[in-house]
Amino acid sequence: MRFIVSVTAGTDDPTRATLGMIAANVAKQQGHDVTVWLQGEAVNIANRNVYDKIVGHNMPAMKDIVDSLVEEGVPFWACEACSKGRDVGEHNFLPNAEMAGMGQYVQAVADFDRSMSF
């Protein structure tokens, strides 16, 4: 199945952010095709200088989860408007991160088999 996992929390709610990334990682480990959509504060997860500092309450390390997803080739789509407002972009992106617009996200929700939101 194809999953789009939408994450809206980042540094502002590290536990919810981590839960979203865990869901993406579990879906990938189960053999599904996964894309991660990051919007709002979640775009900081795509920032290679920030993601490893996001630590959820009683959660596994965000760094380990994200590194696993990157290693598996999971794309991270960072909301363009949200990223620009937080100085996140090509100069500090993770290897699998790219800018995406709301239209790309909405089309993915329509095309993919499942959508999960955190």
98/110 Cα distance (integer angstroms): 20
The region that residue 87 occupies, defined by phi over 0 for left and psi between -120 and 50 for alpha, beta otherwise, is left
68/28 Cα distance (integer angstroms): 10
CB 40 within 8 A of CB 7: no
Structure tokens that stand for 96 in this block: 């699998």
pLDDT tens-digit series, residues 11-32: 999 999 999 999 999 999 999 9
5/112 Cα distance (integer angstroms): 10
Q: What is the pLDDT of residue 97?
A: 98
CB 57 within 8 A of CB 14: yes
Q: What is the pLDDT of residue 24?
A: 98
Sign of CA dihedral 100, 82, 32, 54: positive
Q: Which residue type does 114 have?
A: R
pLDDT tens-digit series, residues 33-53: 999 999 999 999 999 999 999
pLDDT tens-digit series, residues 60-112: 999 999 999 999 999 999 999 999 999 999 999 999 999 999 999 999 999 99
Predicted model pTM:
0.95
